[in-house]
Structure 1
Amino acid sequence: MTRLELWHSCYLLFPLLVLYHLYISPYTKVEESFNIQAVHDILEYGVPTHDANHKFKTFYDHMTFPGAVPRTFVGAVVLAAVAKPIAWVGNLDGVQQQFLVRSILGLFNAAALIYYASGVRRAYGKVAAARYTFHQASQFHVWYYSSRTLPNMFAFGMSTFALSLLLPVTPSTTKSLITRSKMALYLLTLATVVFRSEIALLLGCQCLYMLVQAAGPDISVAKAVSLTRRVLIPSILTASLAGLLLTVSLDTFFWQTPKPLWPELAAFLSNVFPDKDSLGASAWGVSPWHWYFTSALPRLLMNPFAAAGLIPAGFLFYSTSASNWDLTVPSMGYVCLYSFLAHKETRFLFPVIPPLTAAFARVTAHFSVLGERSAIYYMVTSGIALTTVFAALVSHLVLLPLSAQTYPGAHALMSLHSISLNYPAQPSVNVHLTNLALQTGVTHFLSTPSFTNASGHGRPVFYLPGSPSGDIPPLVSTTRTKWIYDKSDNATAFLSPMFWAKFDYAVVEDPGRVIGLWDVVDKVPSLGRVQILNPEVGRGMLVLGPKDERREDDGLSRLVGALYGDKMKFLYGVVHDLLREGYGVQWLLGRQRGSWTRGWWVHWGLETRLYVLKRAQGGMIMP
């Protein structure tokens, strides 16, 4: 019987973190839209077996909104295939199906991280595995994105499984080592060909590192050639052919292109070698060459000790030096190569987070051993433990709920469905959705409310009561309300009264630009920008001192109240009054009250971003 060890907590902790992040923040952004819409269309309309071109153009979202570059359907097809029987047995509505689909992807990535933790246990021992588990769990980005239907997250699970296979195993035979290495390179190549072309950089760094290791200190060319012949070429070639066969055949069919389509190649060429009239990936913004090192990696690792140099410190100790080379050199090579591309995003570094976290865990595990004999190392180990706990609290109790407030489009759509129950049922409801709503959470899964009796949307569109005696039964329509959405962004059309005349509801950013008679039935907030308040702005007590000195809640006060309730809101008010207004200074120091911050403060809160409008009585509705 396997003895339970501390690192085994990852079997429960990692899936729970995925589901917790998904539960708190269940909606999506525009960058996730292709795959989430594709999964919906496959679940809703199936895969056509005849007249495919017509059915794709009629029903599938990607034909109407193809995006800047084509994306592969491989991930969407797999998710839909797994979700279909569960959705059918559970009779799930759209919101529940979206949660299910994202859960499947998130749990796949959680399984990959669990497998990596077990690899750390086999390679470096139970203490390092336990440290890895808790350092990984304390981070934010991996868990927040793990269930998001980005191509990066389909590739993340595959690359994590691959990198776990490259961790050393003791004892190990040559045959076992070759098998594991071939499978690792196979997965990395498959992820490159199908999902994310930049994984080729990580693949190249791993191959180069393996060749250097095989050559040894005497630089044996024969050993390097043997590795290339027995491991590198067979695995990479086989995976390339398999990946191309899969993605080209599937995506040529779904995109209905006259020529064979390899989406990831098309995306790579468009982003890295754009046309003369295009900026490529740089159109989405550029960052300095050092941004990954000075900004992205510290935020991803979420621990100041890791960012401050404990990972490089692993090279200084004999017991951790070899493992540090294995874990960090290919990973940092990937980061360095990727830094040459001007457009940078945090999620591009996700593949190297598990090995870098493992390197950090390896060093902290060694420090914990040294801490038993040295007071200095004990203090460092205690500091690492405290910062890990603090990072976990910030990640899961601060950053997560704050991030969940950035999906006004989804919240507006849910509000619209709820508000519509206050009015008589209609055969059809026409809604205009502004671009911001479409980018911040609106998906096909959410577009149709649940038609169960409990939701209220199952009510009949038409009802004619029967006779009092019961001889004539009531006449009830079984037709459901049809929700029709307009997603046009034609600025010229917005100036025409006839454009707005055909809608029952509108979700817009500026109600003043909507022509006609409309009622604002809801205001949907979203997280605003951080502002620094100078000493002359917004002064006064919030909760302490005489009532005549108190003022209305500020942005942070309302934000804290919305996220954590009235008790935390009151606590924030106390902190504000003590620090900014200097409450208690006279009693404590015997001098006139003064601000500890010299009157400076931060403003950050929820700001109205979208308005839900309903056509007012007397407003024209075109048939």
Structure 2
Amino acid sequence: MSRSYRLSLYLLTFAGVVFRSELAILVATTTLYLFVSGRISIIGVIIPAGLAGAAIGLLTTISVDSFFWQSKPLWPEWVAFYYNTVQGHSADWGVSPWYFYFVNALPRLMLNPITYLLCIPAALLPAATRGRSLDLLIPTLAFVGLFSFLPHKEWRFVIYIIPALTGVAAVGASWIWTRRGKTAIYAVLSLTLVASVLVSFVASTALLAISSLNYPGGEAIEHLHNNINGAFGVHWDHTNVYFDNLACQTGVTRFLENHEGPQTILDVLEAQDLVGKRKWTYDKTEDPEVLLDPRFWNKFHYVLAENPAKIIGAWSTVHVVYAFGGVRVLKPNEESGSPVEPLDVVDRGDNARENWSTRIARLWRTAEGLIRYQLLRGYWAEVRMEPKIRILENQRLYSEGHM
């Protein structure tokens, strides 16, 4: 048994060092619980598992990440932890009350309320399942409790406990299901379990479709790459692009960037002018003072922005990406429709490929016409699409490109 505990703590430590620093708190609560309950010892399990996980994790992450980032010895998770937690910059992204995880995030992550209203209590009541269930619940809920002290909260910070909560809920569901033939109460509860699974499946499918509409930044950068040398009418040898905060939060990642040009350390050594050999350069500057300098904006050909008014200079909106803006119930006499934002410049040449949000919106309107008035007597649930990201073109550089 001590061997399995040692392996578990080693893997958690390794994952915390390499992937997510918040796992260090989960390692701490799990280790403390196992130690207090007499399952592990400091010398036999904690020290060897902790040292091995930390050493191998540091060797892996520093060597790999330093190579790919072309940087001095770099430990990304420490940099992120120091910036967000020690320096407190995570609060810049918003703060939530201490109870946010317990009353908002976890119920939304579990989705099916039967799991925490019925199944988890059902696993804790019988003596036969109580012990194992508490072994999972105590360290994971303690992890959430400690993490609640951090002012900035997001559901992704505590998602690691969902397997444990699901496991405990499964134990409770099994206890109820195996007794469905004994009494009427167990029979009703068993039917409730089945119904909740079906309802949760439908709800999950609907939420999945809605979630696909929440990444306008990713759609914007894809649209830009697909149309830079066609619909926008200019063939740039080198293109500078700026991403604002909302674009970076809604799908813009390095995986979607165009990386034509030198990439590896050998390419860098051979390239005397690295920037000149790259076809694309991207900028995500957030310094407020820099963003107020007009000279900063002069170098960019395109900007992906939420609010064009904050971009200094002569810019034209050449494309607008729409994203999920809410759901409302329409009565028979109410008109449907989402706001449409006009473009400053119509896409030049052949129009761009239809993005996913536009396709889904068009299909939704077709379904509305077929179902709303024939089956639902004019009532309808409308998914609203709102303009989120604008692709702005630098008019000064565009004019120079045609001279």
CA distance in 2, matches of 1:307, 1:607: 35
Aligned: 1:611 with 2:403: no
2:371 alignment counterpart: 571
Matched AA of 1:229: I
1:233 alignment counterpart: 47
| Equivalences, count | 361
Aligned: 1:522 with 2:331: no
C-alpha change, 1:516 and 1:327, in structure 2 (3 Å) is closer
Cα pair 1:427 1:481 within 8 Å, conserved: no
2:133 alignment counterpart: 324
1:407 alignment partner, one of 191, 215, 223: 215
Cα pair 2:321 2:390 within 8 Å, conserved: yes
Counting only pairs closer than 5 Å after superposition, residues 283-322 of structure 1 correspond to structure 2 as: 283-322=92-131
CA distance in 2, matches of 1:263, 1:506: 27
Q: Where does the alignment leave 5 or more consecutive residues of structure 1 unmatched?
A: 1-176, 216-223, 451-479, 543-550, 581-601
Counting only pairs closer than 5 Å after superposition, residues 21-32 of structure 1 correspond to structure 2 as: none
Counting only pairs closer than 5 Å after superposition, residues 48-447 of structure 1 correspond to structure 2 as: 177-214=1-38, 227-250=41-64, 254=69, 256-257=71-72, 262-274=75-87, 279-395=88-204, 397-419=205-227, 420-422=229-231, 426=235, 428=237, 430=239, 432-435=241-244, 436-447=246-257
What secondary structure is seen at the aligned counterpart in 2 of 1:528?
strand
CA distance in 1, matches of 2:249, 2:399: 29
Deviation at 1:394, TM superposition (A): 1.6
Matched AA of 1:608: P
Deviation by residue 1:188-218 (Cα, 9 ceiling, x = unmatched)? 1212233333222222222233234437xxx
C-alpha change, 1:211 and 1:511, in structure 2 (3 Å) is closer
Cα pair 2:320 2:387 within 8 Å, conserved: yes
Matched AA of 1:571: I
Matched AA of 2:13: T
CA distance in 2, matches of 1:237, 1:517: 55
Deviation at 1:240, TM superposition (A): 2.4
C-alpha change, 1:437 and 1:371, in structure 2 (3 Å) is same
Counting only pairs closer than 5 Å after superposition, residues 479-518 of structure 1 correspond to structure 2 as: 482-483=279-280, 490-494=290-294, 499=298, 503=301, 507-509=304-306, 516=314, 518=316
Cα pair 1:310 1:360 within 8 Å, conserved: yes
C-alpha change, 1:572 and 1:356, in structure 2 (3 Å) is farther
Deviation by residue 1:243-302 (Cα, 9 ceiling, x = unmatched)? 333344555665644xx654434443443332xxxx333232222222111111111111
CA distance in 2, matches of 1:245, 1:517: 47
CA distance in 2, matches of 1:573, 1:181: 61
What secondary structure is seen at the aligned counterpart in 2 of 1:320?
helix
C-alpha change, 1:619 and 1:202, in structure 2 (3 Å) is closer
Deviation at 1:574, TM superposition (A): 6.8
Deviation at 1:323, TM superposition (A): 2.2
1:594 alignment counterpart: none
Cα pair 1:560 1:572 within 8 Å, conserved: no
CA distance in 2, matches of 1:205, 1:517: 53
Cα pair 2:119 2:171 within 8 Å, conserved: no
TM-score computed with the length of structure 2 as normaliser: 0.73
CA distance in 1, matches of 2:55, 2:285: 41
2:268 alignment counterpart: none
1:541 alignment counterpart: 333
2:265 alignment counterpart: none
What secondary structure is seen at the aligned counterpart in 1 of 2:158?
helix
What secondary structure is seen at the aligned counterpart in 1 of 2:97?
coil
Which of the pair has more CA radius of gyration? 1
Deviation at 1:524, TM superposition (A): 1.7
Cα pair 1:559 1:606 within 8 Å, conserved: no
What secondary structure is seen at the aligned counterpart in 1 of 2:191?
helix
Deviation at 1:356, TM superposition (A): 0.8
Cα pair 1:561 1:569 within 8 Å, conserved: no
C-alpha change, 1:237 and 1:364, in structure 2 (3 Å) is same
Q: Where does the alignment leave 5 or more consecutive residues of structure 2 unmatched?
A: 261-276, 340-357
Aligned: 1:620 with 2:399: yes
CA distance in 1, matches of 2:94, 2:394: 39
Matched AA of 1:401: A
Deviation by residue 1:31-86 (Cα, 9 ceiling, x = unmatched)? xxxxxxxxxxxxxxxxxxxxxxxxxxxxxxxxxxxxxxxxxxxxxxxxxxxxxxxx
C-alpha change, 1:422 and 1:281, in structure 2 (3 Å) is closer
Matched AA of 1:392: F
C-alpha change, 1:422 and 1:297, in structure 2 (3 Å) is closer
CA distance in 2, matches of 1:314, 1:245: 41
Cα pair 2:336 2:382 within 8 Å, conserved: no
Deviation at 1:360, TM superposition (A): 0.2
What secondary structure is seen at the aligned counterpart in 2 of 1:621?
helix
C-alpha change, 1:573 and 1:360, in structure 2 (3 Å) is farther
C-alpha change, 1:357 and 1:612, in structure 2 (3 Å) is same
What secondary structure is seen at the aligned counterpart in 2 of 1:370?
coil
